[in-house]
Structure 1
Amino acid sequence: MSKIESIFKSCLEPKEVYKGGKNIPASNKKLYKLSSNENPLGASPKAVAAIKKAAENIDLYPDQTDIRLREALVQDFDGQLAADQFICGNSGSELIDMLLRAFINENDEVIYSNPCFLPYSVFSRWYGAKLIDIPLTNPNYHLDTEGILNAITDKTKIIFLTSPNNPTGTYIPRSVLDDFLSRIPKNVIVVFDEVYRHFADAEDYITALPYVKAGHNIIAINSFSKTYGLAGQRIGYCYTTSTIANYIRQIHKPFLLPITSIEAAIGALNDKGFVEETVKTVKEGRAYLSSEFDKLGITYWPTQGNFFIVDPPLPEIEFANKLMEQGIMVRPVSQFGAPGKVRITVGNQEANHALIQALEKIKPD
């Protein structure tokens, strides 16, 4: 081992690395990107207009803090939370990193449930956490609450929960979450990833909001990448109790958010019509694809997100490659803890029809 290698942290030895979805390759062929759960309608027009206006001032430093965006979020949440209960950052992923940086010391324990968003485990390892995987139950991908409760020790710091869950599309019913939160120790933080919340319509779906208002140690992760179509701006936020938020804010960097991201997010929050049209498009697309998957005999799981996880009729890589040949990009999710499965984003009507036509062509007889 060289002298420089001797100072590297052991938790950062080459291991599992998060790889995002692929971008559309350069090609003259029409391609539909159904691999990254992006907005099927593009971006909010009000957000785009705000970016163009902000671009006139990109020679200037942005806001030193995120207060203007937090005040806009207060309005979006109808005043149910105060401005000091929000924290904004460069995407939901960056906020996950920030929370781990705030709470995790070497050998602290982090509990998560595969299949799930890979940064939960990858980012936790950066800070030397001991990872405890309590997998979702088979075959329905439900949360194993008893397994999680039994895994909690005096070293447990963070439990990751996701609803709707990426990549499975499943959610945590209110009764399950009520019971779970009532039974965990008071010194454990629950990080509740709800970035797909706008698409959930199950009668017993619930966000973290009432639990934050009740004073639970829960932090809700949200993003502008999905519903608002701002994936390229890398902007997100979380909300929690004032006590937890003010603690985390101690490591919030000044001038953290680019001026275009701040203005785009504020513009998007003011575009209620775009949000409503996005949700309508996704729900109609889910219904259409569910019906067509049934006709084709494609195994899939009911979803509350803007995507499906499917058990493809071919090996996952072969399936993805054959769809790519037909102009459809999808995401194999073995890396997310779902070996052999593929995630398919709900697109606009044109993209959804193209997907079904492609499936008809590649599906074995």
Structure 2
Amino acid sequence: MKDIKSIFKPYLQPREVYKGGKNIPSGTTKIHKLSSNENPLGTSPKAIAALKKAADQLHFYPDQTDVRLREALVADFNAELTADQFLCGNSGSEILDMLLRAFVKEGDEVIYSNPCFLPYSVFSRWYGATPVDVPLTAPDYELDVAGILNAIGPKTKIVFLTSPNNPTGTYIPKAVLDAFFEKVPKNVLVVFDEVYRHFADAEDYVAALPYVQKGYPVVAVNSFSKTYGLAGQRIGYCYTTGVIAQYLRQIQKPFLLPLTSLEAGIGALADTDFVARTVRTVHSGRSFLEKAFARLDITYWPTQGNFFIIDPPLPELEFTDALMEHGVMVRPVSQFGAPGKVRISIGTEAANTALVRALEKMLHHGATP
């Protein structure tokens, strides 16, 4: 006799799921959390003020739509896009889920490039799609454009690109993107994850904006978690062409964003001083850690994000456990397709110094504190 499992979707059988970075254990001594790429300065003060003001209105339903936040985004983008080209959601991850829900069905294929953000493949399987991995090329983690173009077939619906890329910190140069968009079929959606774009300062770095303006089938995914310090509030957005945005808006739920998220997002976008301080802190920390890694002979990859990927001097779990004993939390990234590597977020001056001191002790005395 059949039971309830007989109607379970075959592609939703138990398998590895995405696991976020660990939180600091309660009751522990001072821990420098450099494991989740969070804002080292905390949260935008203007966002906090907006949150506190909204607390008196929690018994009311929020806005039915995200239009006020979209209008604030238009101003943030210097009116280079219209409000109708933005869509907001509960985190960048939720935006990814919305895109897959809208474009992918059972039997379709999506292309991604490991090492990368695990939800690209995990979320795709939720809808019965087949993730196709075209890995970044060794040893520099560069995009394999020819490999991606060769992998595109009649079942391909989405190609995921990320710049700067998590966990490698690498980016896709403008010339590479120009050539890619010229060749990618117009009936394939390019999902361009640019949540770390504020930290990129390479001369040939480019976000998705010019490609959206030229009408390519691209959706740029962004988050308020990194630059604005609102990881706990879960706010994300994307921008795209008018045609794609109109299509996506059909599956947006009413009252989707909590009132606190709407107000915090609008407040954060107005806090340009906080954004500038955050970027300066990351760039300064990036330079400090590059010099320290070189001095300590630790293999690292140049980064355009607010984090580094390194080849640790010990096995990854032994290394992360040893650093934790020294009061520094970092993250192994085998789950992201980078076996043996460890990702280290750029923190405050104090956190970065604590990391370097811990590394010096480990390398000089061994793994025990």
Say yes or no: TM over 0.5: yes
Provide the C-alpha distance between the structure 2 equivalents of 1:363 and 1:105, rounded to a whole number of angstroms.
50
Aligned residue number for residue 344 of structure 1: 344
Aligned residue number for residue 179 of structure 1: 179
Provide the C-alpha distance between the structure 2 equivalents of 1:27 and 1:321, rounded to a whole number of angstroms.
18
Provide the C-alpha distance between the structure 1 equivalents of 2:196 and 2:296, rounded to a whole number of angstroms.
27
Aligned residue number for residue 148 of structure 1: 148
**Amino acid in the other structure paired with 1:320:** T
Provide the C-alpha distance between the structure 2 equivalents of 1:296 and 1:362, rounded to a whole number of angstroms.
11
Provide the C-alpha distance between the structure 1 equivalents of 2:229 and 2:2, rounded to a whole number of angstroms.
46
Provide the C-alpha distance between the structure 1 equivalents of 2:84 and 2:257, rounded to a whole number of angstroms.
17
Provide the C-alpha distance between the structure 1 equivalents of 2:16 and 2:211, rounded to a whole number of angstroms.
33
The equivalences for 1:101-112 within 5 A come to 101-112=101-112
Aligned-residue offset at 1:128:
0.4
Provide the C-alpha distance between the structure 1 equivalents of 2:154 and 2:337, rounded to a whole number of angstroms.
27
Aligned residue number for residue 232 of structure 1: 232
Q: Structure 2 length normalisation: TM-score?
A: 0.98
The equivalences for 1:84-103 within 5 A come to 84-103=84-103
Aligned residue number for residue 284 of structure 1: 284
**Amino acid in the other structure paired with 2:130:** K
Provide the C-alpha distance between the structure 2 equivalents of 1:168 and 1:72, rounded to a whole number of angstroms.
31
Aligned residue number for residue 200 of structure 1: 200
Aligned-residue offset at 1:28:
3.9
For 1:363, what is the secondary structure of its paired residue? helix
Deviations 1:162-185 (A, max 9, x none): 000000000000000000010011
For 2:323, what is the secondary structure of its paired residue? helix
The equivalences for 1:236-251 within 5 A come to 236-251=236-251
Aligned residue number for residue 136 of structure 1: 136
Aligned residue number for residue 121 of structure 2: 121
Provide the C-alpha distance between the structure 2 equivalents of 1:73 and 1:246, rounded to a whole number of angstroms.
17
Q: Structure 1 length normalisation: TM-score?
A: 0.99
Aligned residue number for residue 168 of structure 1: 168
Aligned-residue offset at 1:27:
2.5
For 2:100, what is the secondary structure of its paired residue? helix
Aligned-residue offset at 1:74:
0.4
Provide the C-alpha distance between the structure 1 equivalents of 2:6 and 2:315, rounded to a whole number of angstroms.
42
Provide the C-alpha distance between the structure 2 equivalents of 1:291 and 1:130, rounded to a whole number of angstroms.
42
Aligned residue number for residue 18 of structure 1: 18
Deviations 1:117-164 (A, max 9, x none): 000000000000011100000010000000000000011100000000
Please tell me whether residue 361 in structure 1 is matched to residue 322 in structure 2. Answer: no
Deviations 1:74-122 (A, max 9, x none): 0000000000000000000000000000000111110000000000000
Deviations 1:200-234 (A, max 9, x none): 00000000000000000000000000000000000
User: Tell me, which stretches of 5 or more residues in structure 1 are unaligned?
Assistant: none
Aligned-residue offset at 1:286:
0.1
Aligned length: 365
User: Tell me, which stretches of 5 or more residues in structure 2 are unaligned?
Assistant: none
- The sequence identity of aligned pairs, in percent, is 71
For 2:361, what is the secondary structure of its paired residue? helix
Aligned-residue offset at 1:2:
5.3
The equivalences for 1:1-16 within 5 A come to 3-16=3-16
